[in-house]
Structure 1
Amino acid sequence: MSTDPTADTKTGRVRGLWRHVDGTRSAAFLGVPYAEPPVGDLRFAAPAPREPWPGERDATAFGPTPQRVDGGDTLIPEPAVSGEDTLSVNVFTPAPDDARRPVIVYIHGGGYVSGSPASSWYDGAAFARDGVVTVTMSYRLGFDGFGHVPGAPANRGVRDWIAALEWVRANIAAFGGDPDRVTLAGQSAGGGAVLTLLTVPAARGLFHAAWAMSPAVADVPGETSRTLSAKIAQLAGVPATLDGFHTIPREDLPDLERRAALPETDSKLEIARALIEDALSWGPTVDGELVTRPAVEAIEDGAGGDVPLVIGSLDDEMTFITADARRALRLVPPGLALRLLGVDRDRRRHYLAVNTEQRRKGTAAVLGRYLGDVVFRSLVARVARAREGAEAPTWVYRFAWASPTKGWALHCLDVPFWFDVLDAERVEVVAGATPPRSLAAAVHGGAAAFARTADPGWRPWSEAPGATRVFGGPPANPEVIPDGYRSVAPLV
């Protein structure tokens, strides 16, 4: 008789595997489908309910991923798994029993065009060790997930997120989880997904708390989505119709998506300006039906105000991108550089006045900080301020520990600390050979506590506006500071 763990879902039995991590046994169920494969007529359709399968389904290996090729030299290792059955979840649990443990559902990042739930950085073993069930999901990316296709529903990627959450509500009890204690979490585009789902009526009741890490919202206008999709058709040499788009191989889309989104200019300055003004070309679209308005605008009007939220970012999300230009920019005053990027005089003067420490590091550091502030950190402050009168509390944090190999508290660096997977593949590339275990204990511990109690353990911003937990700051500094996002005030 098999001793492997099994669970009975609404569509059939699945068989996972036991694992021993850090001396603790837990179970993993990988590649469990939550919808029919999005192929053929279903490629651009809303996710279709999964048909039951006979017998016992093997769930011991990651399922096929919507990302068709490996991410390459990305900050997070993002393996691609071939195959068509790409809409699946992975469940990490202490045991598939009736214990009704708290649940975290995690949405990966990748700018809405890449990323893989098969990454070792998203392993839920540490959460299982701490009594929390973790679910990671795949979803359609790029054009397949978010492009405008005549005759097809918009926001197919958003519909995938909702379908996965509906699967969790219906099935997680079979894996030892409590469907009434679901925390939705995500990083980068996944963090943006969290904010989007806070405001989408179709997602109400599917999660009860939320954690947004370095959120990046797209809020692509409908007209922009239509224009980009028309460019995809033109570049691929097909008609901009449902039948025409069906003929484009998915493997060709990453290149087509990049080419369609690039500004029609050879000027690096104009390209930089475009990236700052519209950093994400693919992603949730304001379609007037499922996504009725931009996420922050909806939050400002009270959407999702009854859901406890943790939100934060890293101190230098994007500075690693501009750091290589340090020598070329050493004689360019920061104010001039910001003016060339189109920042008006009052805003750049105010911004430089509250970022004096960054100015000492040079113009490249200022530009990198500004890029990260525009895309990520100002959004954190906007959301926190918008929720100051909300029913549920909001907690804010900063991740300030600088990578010993990259030199900055850069985008994605916090992920292995949040999951407490410091020994995972390629973590040492960004965190060095001996990343601080105490920092992982603090960050991961806050996430586990939030999943269990809807309180991460520090004073909320909603109680004391500006209150910010700083992870990895100087030892002599307090852990919670009174105005942690003062440096982005000119951008809010």
Structure 2
Amino acid sequence: MTDAPVVQTASGRVRGRWRGRSAAFLGIPFAQAPVGDLRFAAPVAPEPWKGVRDALEYAPTAQRGDKGITLIPEPSIPGDATLNVNVFTPAPGAADAKLPVLVWIHGGGFVAGSPASPWYDGRSFNRDGIVTVSISYRLGFDGFGHIAGAPSNRGVRDWLAALEWVQANIAAFGGDPTRVTIAGQSAGGGAVLTLLGMPKAQHLFRAAWALSPALADVSVERSRTLSAKLAHLAGVSPTVDGFGSVPEAEIEKLQDAAAAAPGRDPLAGVRSLIDEGLPWGPAIDGDLVAQPTLGSLESGVGADKPLVIGTTDDEFTMVLDDAKGKLRFLPVGPLLGRLLTDRDVRRAYLAANAAQRRKGTAAVLGRYATDAIFRSGVVRVADARGDAPTYAYRFAWPSPTRTWALHCLDVPFWFDCLGADGVAAVAGSDPPQRLAAAVHGSAVAFVRDGDPDWPAWARHPGITRIFGGPPQMPDVAADGYASVRALLVR
């Protein structure tokens, strides 16, 4: 394996590089650069090229600038050609290998994130016989904002175009286009659920895994209001020409201002996120996203596809760590009442979370935000899918550096990349490889066979695989999300 691997794609040949027993092909375009007349257009197939194109470095990202220290290291790479895929494969050029395929969609609240993270390297999945692809998509307003005269949900169209690229090209990298599993975390997990509930995406994959999914499902009214507000802030008309005259960097600043919660109440942003959801993301446009995702799943869309869905135990509890000293002397009931106004529901929720309550007021408020935004959604999705094969899990191992089983902590265990840059910051200097073997092993089994090796929700409603729980906690709990059920009556 001394010669660099070369693979023929539909647009031309690409040259990757060997990394031991597998190869990486980075920055392959699945669409033309979304600039100029294509900035707010549906993705357009790339122009064919002659000769061999080097695919040795990550390509430009839709994320711009230095985002500072983030939980997942996701670098920004400058440039225009932001619509690309990265392919990691143990069998480049072996069209008869027909290996299962994993397609990863990054998170970042639909406004940030990058497929160039070292955590998303497919090396460990390659070791286990799985071809892995990470994809990019347009972010924020450029990807999801309402613009008169432009196609809706441009970021969603980017996902579809990338998945179509996989269907057309992955066999040349040793993959089987009939055995594609889509997966993603946070907003990427929300993307997975959006695609699972989208009739026009059903032919593009056979299974789905959603880690800590954050759905957007932005209403038509909210999408139009936010876009009109952004146009006003930019001083332009809310049209393709108007928004096209505003540089990306300026749009990025203004989209945050347009979506900001009014007032100085520090809990206003949390309450807005709980009540209204993410401001930029897939919108219910009556076309690609015809109805809210939960309703689509309930109607049976995607019911033939197995789904694994789960969260960490304390996704957002960390956000109140700096305030726990001030909050510890304040009664939790009235403070929680500012987020959860129904008194009966609030009492039932506090009773079901007595163990968290003993950790203090900040821990309860953070857990409630976690439950309202993430964990209650697991139960809603699993119940909505009825008899469809759905498997729930929890990641319960607490970070030795950040206290909680926090947002993003499970990702390096899922990818089995505990030695990657940035992992020690959230998982400590000696994260348990045994836990990575369990989480990653379940992912491999699911991508390969459509079964993660624990009972399905439909047969045992509430049943949940627990990864990394304390010794007294079973590996499989009969009702692993019982503590959020009080919220489901809302």
Asked if TM exceeds 0.5, the reply is: yes
* Among candidates 472, 481, 485, match of residue 485 of structure 1: 481
The CA distance in 2 between the partners of 1:93 and 1:71, in whole Å, is 30
Matches within 5 A, 1:48-447: 48-96=44-92, 97-98=94-95, 99-390=97-388, 393-447=389-443
* 1:333-384 Cα distance to aligned partner (Å, 9 max, x none): 2211111224210110110011010000011000000001111100011111
What SS does structure 2 have at the residue aligned with 1:14?
Answer: strand
The CA distance in 2 between the partners of 1:177 and 1:265, in whole Å, is 52
| Residue 476 to residue 271, structure 1, CA distance change in 2 (3 Å) | closer
Q: CA deviation at 1:70?
A: 2.7
* 1:48-85 Cα distance to aligned partner (Å, 9 max, x none): 11221111111000010000113211111110111111
The CA distance in 2 between the partners of 1:261 and 1:448, in whole Å, is 39
CA contact (8 A) 1:284 1:291 kept: yes
Task: Return 5+ residue gaps in structure 1 as ranges.
Answer: none
CA contact (8 A) 1:72 1:78 kept: no
Give the residue type in structure 2 aligned to 1:46: A
Q: Aligned residues: percent identity?
A: 63
The CA distance in 2 between the partners of 1:271 and 1:71, in whole Å, is 20
Give the residue type in structure 2 aligned to 1:72: G
The CA distance in 2 between the partners of 1:135 and 1:270, in whole Å, is 38
TM-score, normalised relative to structure 1? 0.97
Give the residue type in structure 1 aligned to 2:15: R
- RMSD of equivalent CA atoms: 1.2
What SS does structure 1 have at the residue aligned with 2:147?
Answer: coil
Q: CA deviation at 1:229?
A: 0.9
What SS does structure 1 have at the residue aligned with 2:387?
Answer: coil
Give the residue type in structure 1 aligned to 2:302: G
What SS does structure 2 have at the residue aligned with 1:248?
Answer: coil
What SS does structure 2 have at the residue aligned with 1:182?
Answer: strand
Out of 300-309 and 434-443, give the one that drifted further: 300-309
* Among candidates 29, 33, 56, match of residue 33 of structure 1: 29
CA contact (8 A) 2:106 2:114 kept: yes
TM superposition outliers: structure 1 runs of 4+ over 4 Å: none
The CA distance in 1 between the partners of 2:275 and 2:14, in whole Å, is 46
Aligned to 1:8: 8
What SS does structure 1 have at the residue aligned with 2:268?
Answer: helix
* 1:189-210 Cα distance to aligned partner (Å, 9 max, x none): 0000011001111101100000
* Among candidates 454, 461, 480, match of residue 458 of structure 1: 454
Matched, 1:17 2:33: no
Counting matched residue pairs gives: 486
The CA distance in 2 between the partners of 1:341 and 1:208, in whole Å, is 38
CA contact (8 A) 1:388 1:465 kept: no
The CA distance in 1 between the partners of 2:336 and 2:299, in whole Å, is 32
Out of 238-247 and 400-409, give the one that drifted further: 238-247
What SS does structure 1 have at the residue aligned with 2:355?
Answer: helix
Give the residue type in structure 2 aligned to 1:220: V
The CA distance in 2 between the partners of 1:271 and 1:104, in whole Å, is 35
Give the residue type in structure 2 aligned to 1:405: T
The CA distance in 2 between the partners of 1:2 and 1:132, in whole Å, is 22
The CA distance in 2 between the partners of 1:271 and 1:111, in whole Å, is 14
Q: CA deviation at 1:44?
A: 0.2
The CA distance in 2 between the partners of 1:219 and 1:177, in whole Å, is 32
CA contact (8 A) 1:71 1:115 kept: no
Give the residue type in structure 1 aligned to 2:34: P
* 1:231-262 Cα distance to aligned partner (Å, 9 max, x none): 11121222222111001111222221111101
What SS does structure 2 have at the residue aligned with 1:396?
Answer: strand
The CA distance in 2 between the partners of 1:241 and 1:333, in whole Å, is 49
Give the residue type in structure 1 aligned to 2:279: S
Give the residue type in structure 2 aligned to 1:7: V
Out of 482-491 and 236-245, give the one that drifted further: 236-245
The CA distance in 2 between the partners of 1:223 and 1:27, in whole Å, is 46
Task: Return 5+ residue gaps in structure 2 as ranges.
Answer: none
Q: CA deviation at 1:2?
A: 7.8
The CA distance in 1 between the partners of 2:308 and 2:422, in whole Å, is 27
What SS does structure 1 have at the residue aligned with 2:397?
Answer: coil
The CA distance in 2 between the partners of 1:364 and 1:342, in whole Å, is 15
Q: CA deviation at 1:388?
A: 2.7
The CA distance in 1 between the partners of 2:269 and 2:109, in whole Å, is 17
Give the residue type in structure 2 aligned to 1:43: R
What SS does structure 2 have at the residue aligned with 1:370?
Answer: helix
